[in-house]
Amino acid sequence: MPFAPGTSRTPSIVPSVVRSHGRGRWHVVWSLLLVIAAVGCSCLRPSATNDATQLAAWDQWKQTRLNSIAGTNGWATLVGLLWIGEGRQSLGSAPTAKLRLPTARAPLNAGDLIRSGTQVRFEAAPGVDAMLDGTAATSANLRSDANEAVPAVLQIGPLTLRILQRGERLAVRVKDPEASTRVHFRGLDYFPYASEWRISGQFEPAPPGRKLPITDVTGAIHEEACPGTIVFTVSGKPQRLDALDDDETHDLWLVFRDRTSGHSTYGGGRFLHVAKPGADRRVTIDFNFAYNPPCAFTPFATCPVPPRQNNLHVAIPAGERQYAGEHP
């Protein structure tokens, strides 16, 4: 069962059923979103009108959501985001290491990372046992998540390291299943499911090839495909949200803020997936499935900032609430 609002539970007993895809962007990194497509989005279609069915799908989605945060490979395991400069840089837990790993969780000198443009090579220090994608490695090129690729997984002791590319910048993302943010994870909290926040809307297609500049929290700007805008009404007031095209979950992805942001919900906004429209261009937006970005749980994620036009001037008290535990 999901954590009850306001309760805590030791995350080590949470099964880690969500594994990293590592596909170079914020929203497609986790197979959670495939489950959202299969579970959440399928119940967003107007044919699924039974409240009991909706509630059951929502409960299942919340469990998967919980695993994606508190599982052994979840967002709460992040312990570092180390930006890589050109040339050779030392990697380890020593205070003098250029790329410093958590104290007592890695060798003082784990080796070196050598960057040449967008290529990164790892060379292990003598006596260091390292694994690359499950195979022992003393020297190897590290595949990044550029161009939607699955990044190589370098394991040193309990830590796993992956190379991210954000524009022209490269970074090492470091995970530890015993991170304090996971060990002390306090659970996820939601507004009660309310059918009134399952709203019918209209999809307005954008001109072919339209791109939307999306800035992430590091300041990098990504040009994302924007197939159109969803138009709907809240309390008699028309609302608009530009949608992004999620080519992995094959649905529409919304990054938005509303009047609850920074109060009862996360200040950096929330995410939501919506099934693509049919020939009538109708869509159903179920805000009960709105959820927090990874940055609500860790300072080591590179989340998108909602574009200005997706700041709603109404409150949406539905979906995931502000996280109450340790967070940036």
- Residue spans of the domains in the chain: they are 15-73+186-310, 76-176
CA angle 70, 74, 76 (to 5 degrees): 65
pLDDT of residue 147: 83
pLDDT of residue 298: 94
pLDDT of residue 19: 28
pLDDT of residue 169: 93
Query: Would you say 158 and 77 are in contact if contact means Cβ atoms under 8 Å apart?
Result: no
In angstroms, the CA 277 to CA 289 distance is 18
In angstroms, the CA 72 to CA 13 distance is 10
Backbone phi, psi, residue 221, to 5°: -115, 130
Cα distance from N-terminal residue to C-terminal residue, the chain: 27
pLDDT of residue 72: 94
pLDDT tens digits along 247-270 = 788 899 999 999 999 999 999 999
Q: Which of 12, 36, 32 is nearest to 23 (CA)?
A: 32
Regions in the chain scoring below 50 on pLDDT: 1-49, 328
Assigned token pair, 112: 């070196």
pLDDT of residue 30: 39
In angstroms, the CA 250 to CA 138 distance is 39
Backbone phi, psi, residue 182, to 5°: -90, -45
pLDDT of residue 246: 87
In angstroms, the CA 228 to CA 254 distance is 11
Report the CATH number of the 76-176 domain: 2.60.200.20
In angstroms, the CA 314 to CA 326 distance is 28
In angstroms, the CA 37 to CA 45 distance is 11
pLDDT of residue 38: 41
